[in-house]
Structure 1
Amino acid sequence: MDSKTLSSRLRELVKFLGTVKGDLANVTGPPSLLAPSSVVEVGHCWAQRPSVFSAPALEPNPQKRALLVLRWFLIALRSQLYIGVDHTTNNKTKPTTQTSIRKPLNAFLGELFLASWTDTENSKSTTHLVAEQVSHHPPITAMHVADRAHGVRADGYARVEMTFNGSVNIRQVGHATLRVDRYDEDYLVPLPDVKVRGFLGGCMYPEISGVYHVVGSSGWVSEVRFWGEGMLRGKRNSFEARVYHRDDAQKTAVYEVKGCWNEGWTVKDCGTGEVLEVYDVDAPENEPVPMEVEAVEAQDPWESRRAWGEVLEGLRAGDMRAVVAEKSKIEQAQRQMRASEATRGVTGAAVLSVAAGRGA
């Protein structure tokens, strides 16, 4: 799709969204603006770099562990929010080839996504992800990420609420907790609210604003302030973070992190002034490791890529007629199944709820 066609369709979308009242989360976007993946895949952002996920378990110093958890949180943001974008062409070295973000498919109730990642070169870590759509009205996605060998796991849920007032406002109701068994330590991790900008310019992009906190049970807190383009002449996707101890009334920072979460940032030791890291999101050494999933034909019918298989093929091929037809089949089948369950008084047990009950 060329830029003029995309821009025209985005303008049509703006007109449509302006007529919708209330929550947009369950509104289906135009097929041409859909990403070839379901919302249940979004949790992969936290698992796709196993060495980053397991790093806190290998650090004995509690304030450094807090910094590593903050690092994991920041690194995940691009994959979490720049959905449907090919990062091999949308980066700071090729600014003229930016691609608009796209809306993931609305997951159906009970939809699953199972995947794993293994870092064979660095920490030899393996992460496993289980994500499930546990509610459809309102839409709620639950996820569990674990590195069993290092005793690190994350559990979270998100209910997404969307409204439109010139930008799409995405409010994420929910949170995640990160557990590090070796140090009997837990972290409360926020899910930032997002604005989708760039409709009229033909290139939609996400922007976070406001202040969020990653809070550790050891007392260390990471305070992150986000702002973006047009805010006090800011640069897109900008942030500043500081790590301090909650018992310090002055909130004296031991580390400061500054930069753009879609490009890179600098980490500084506030005590010595030493630059500890210059992180480049696009550096080859920071690429995610390959994702491992079952072949589609071997997946359970409830697994996302098998269930949406024909739709995903149509999106990748740009065959919007096939996308609409196949998507309608799935949605109609889901409605009929749920109506039948309601008539019979049957409800299914969520996989993640069952696993939690068994102490998984």
Structure 2
Amino acid sequence: MADITSNRSTLREFLASIATIQGDLSNITAPPFVLAEHSTVELPQYWADHPSWFVAPALASTAEQRALLVLKWFLGSLKNQQYAGRKEEDGVKKPLNAFLGELFFGKWVDEETGETRLVAEQVSHHPPVTACYLWNEKCGIRAEGFTQQEITFSGSVNIKQKGYAILHIDRYEEDYLIPVPNVKVKGILSGAPYPELSGKYSIISSTGFVSDVIFEGKGFIMGGTKNGFQARVFNIETPSEDIYTAKGSWNSMFSIDDPRTGEPIETCDIKTKSSIPITVTDILEQDPWESRKAWRCSTSDAKSVVEEGQRHMRKLEKERGVEWKPLFFRRQEGDALFEKLSEVDKGGFTVGRAGGIWKVDQDAIKDAQKPYHEDLAPTGQISDLTNDEVSTRKPNGVHEGREGKIEELLRNKWVEAGIPSPSLSTQLSVQCSDASIS
């Protein structure tokens, strides 16, 4: 009971402090008890934790069926995206702020549809931008996207998302422009926070089919329901004629109907539909830049180690006059396909000028090899020690019998690069009791 009272007091103090801040709160550090276990770079996994829904459009025979199945996939992905995979009764927590260069890889394997894979990378930190690429070679479907989040507080937490995704179906050479809805996190002061979507968004196909989705939400429209929405699929040539309609709650149950026949098509129960957890590499085999390895000791102390290391790296890059280069995504000045498709709904998509437009580099993914950033860890350390070797380090952080190799690495990476070399103890300090953060 004392912990609950203390947490509520701390939360009130935190909310009071951010309420006075004007502008983006994305990189504000929240109290530990409101932080989730994983970082924002893991959130793209929830686009495909129903992998059969993700690949379904590629298996449909008509353009209007494919448009409907893209809408169904989009709606079915929202609950776990907004709750970050948590149970609804457990509420929402703030994901950890991803560090620049943070990586997340995973896959889902199905006997019929094959392997669906994901690559996500934090491509910018100020402002924070996460980019992702999701694909299934067997079914010939792929999606790439990015989002820049801006967070403000006005009684509720307001998350404005700047970005979009493009879904491509190889067999039909079709593209779909996918929105990233804005979010309000309500119920914070009552201790039962929940996400609510609001506004109108469009999923736009290169075949001329459009899905308009209106998120109602309790309190936005008279008679609206919590997490409610209405949607319609139509052809841009006959915008007043509904081909399909859908309505219900994106976190519970929704129905799909054919207004031309008056017949129901399907009822989707999100609460009972099982998500398929993503499969990731064992943590001992992960690279230091992979999210779950970097945050495996996500205590306040370990969190500060990563943050301090990142600040140090940005300082050194500034001194050298270089910029961080993401591994798997490239920033572009424009996107012709986005410009063409978004003409249908100019007000439904926002791209942050500072965050930029990000496109996947498929060759970089195919050619990727560990270590992803040579021997440099996200803490700014030299990460030449294996997990087994970490346990035999001396108390001062130097592995017995390997001082020469460590000094050589430091010399190569810092001295020859013209960077002032930090002390050996600073770079090789033990971050966790069971393993190094690097």
Say whether the fold is shared (TM-score over 0.5).
yes
1:183-241 deviation line (CA, Å, top 9, x unaligned)? 11000000001111101211111111111000000010000000111231321100000
Match of 2:286 in 1: 299
**Which of 127, 131, 149 is matched with 1:142 structurally?**
131
Q: Structure 1 residue 50: deviation in Å?
A: 1.6
Distance 1:142 1:297, change over 3 A: same
**TM alignment of 1:177-188, pairs within 5 A:** 177-188=166-177
- Paired letter, 1:14: L
Q: Does 1:245 align with 2:245?
A: no
Contact 2:82-2:195 at 8 Å conserved across structures: yes
Counterpart position of 1:346? 322
Secondary structure of the 1:66 match is helix
Which residue of the partner structure matches residue 400 of structure 2? Answer: none
| Contact 1:108–1:133 (8 Å) recurs in 2 | yes
Compared CA separation, residues 359 and 134, structure 1 to 2 (3 A): closer
Instruction: State the secondary structure of the residue aligned to 1:64.
Output: helix
Deviation per CA, 1:326-351, whole angstroms, max 9, x where unpaired?
A: 11111001111221222223334312
Q: Could you tell me which residue of structure 1 aligns to residue 352 of structure 2? A: none
Give the whole-Å Cα distance in 2 for the aligned partners of 1:53 and 1:226: 21
Unaligned runs of 5+ in 1: 91-97, 312-322
TM superposition shift of 1:102 = 0.5
2:100 corresponds to 1:109 = yes
**Is the Cα contact below 8 Å between 1:7 and 1:201 reproduced in 2?**
no
| 1:278 is the counterpart of 2:267 | yes
After superposition, residues 182-221 of structure 1 pair within 5 angstroms as 182-221=171-210
CA distance in 2, matches of 1:234, 1:6: 32
Q: CA deviation at 1:357?
A: 6.7
Q: Which moved more, 1:43-52 or 1:58-67?
A: 43-52
1:150-192: CA deviations, max 9, x gaps? 1100000001011111111111000000000111100000000
How far apart, in 2, do the equivalents of 1:157 and 1:327 lie?
A: 24
Gaps in structure 2 of 5+ consecutive residues: 331-359, 366-438
2:249 counterpart residue number? 260
Q: In structure 2, what residue type is equivalent to 1:270?
A: P
Per the TM alignment, residue 242 of structure 1 is displaced from its structure 2 partner at its CA by: 0.3
User: C-alpha separation between the residues in 2 aligned to 1:8 and 1:342?
Assistant: 40
Q: Paired residues, what number?
A: 334
Partner residue in 2 for 1:82: 83
The Cα shift of 1:8 comes to 4.5
AA aligned to 2:262 is G
1:36 paired to 2:37: yes
2:11–2:31 contact (8 Å) kept in structure 1: no
**Paired position in structure 2 for 1:356:** 361
What secondary structure, in the 3-state scheme, does the structure 1 residue paired with 2:311 have? helix
Matches within 5 A, 1:12-161: 12-83=13-84, 85=86, 87=87, 90=88, 98-120=89-111, 123-161=112-150
Give the secondary-structure state (helix, strand or coil) at the position aligned to 2:361. helix
Q: Distance in 1 between matches of 2:79 and 2:7?
A: 22
Check conservation: 2:46, 2:84, Cα contact below 8 A: no
14-23 or 152-161, which deviates more: 14-23
Q: Distance in 2 between matches of 1:130 and 1:357?
A: 10
Instruction: Name the CA shift for 1:5/1:62 in 2 (closer, same or farther; >3 Å).
Output: farther
Counterpart amino acid of residue 233 in structure 1: G
Kindly provide the amino acid, as one letter, of the partner of residue 93 in structure 2.
Answer: R
Corresponding residue to 2:215 among 218, 226, 239:
226
**CA radius of gyration, larger in:** 2
Q: Distance in 2 between matches of 1:346 and 1:295?
A: 33
What TM-score does the superposition give when structure 2 sets the normalisation length? Answer: 0.73
Question: SS in structure 2 opposite 1:292?
Answer: coil
Cα deviation, residue 300, structure 1: 0.5
Give the match's secondary structure for 1:131: strand
Q: CA deviation at 1:17?
A: 2.0
- 1:77 alignment partner, SS class: helix
Secondary structure of 1:310's match?
A: coil
Check conservation: 1:7, 1:203, Cα contact below 8 A: no
2:46–2:85: 8 Å Cα contact kept in structure 1?
no
Q: Which has the higher contact order (CA 8 A, sep 6+)?
A: 1
| Structure 1: 4+ residue segments shifted above 2 A | 1-14, 344-349, 357-360
Identity %: 46
2:90 aligned counterpart, secondary structure: coil
Give 3-state SS (helix, strand or coil) of 1:291's partner. coil
Calculate the TM-score normalised by the size of structure 1.
0.88
- Contact conserved, 1:83 with 1:103, CA < 8 A, in 2? no
Q: Are the structure 2 counterparts of residues 131 and 291 from structure 1 closer, same or farther at C-alpha, using a change threshold of 3 Å?
A: same
Distance 1:202 1:32 in 2: 12
Partner of 2:68: helix, strand, or coil? helix
Superposition deviation, residue 124 in structure 1: 3.1
Pair 1:287 & 2:274 matched: yes
Tell me, in whole angstroms, the C-alpha distance in 1 between the residues paired with 2:166 and 2:20.
37
Q: Secondary structure at the match of 2:99?
A: coil
Deviation at 1:64? 0.8
Return the offset for 1:118.
1.3
Stretch of structure 1 that moved more, 45-54 or 12-21: 12-21
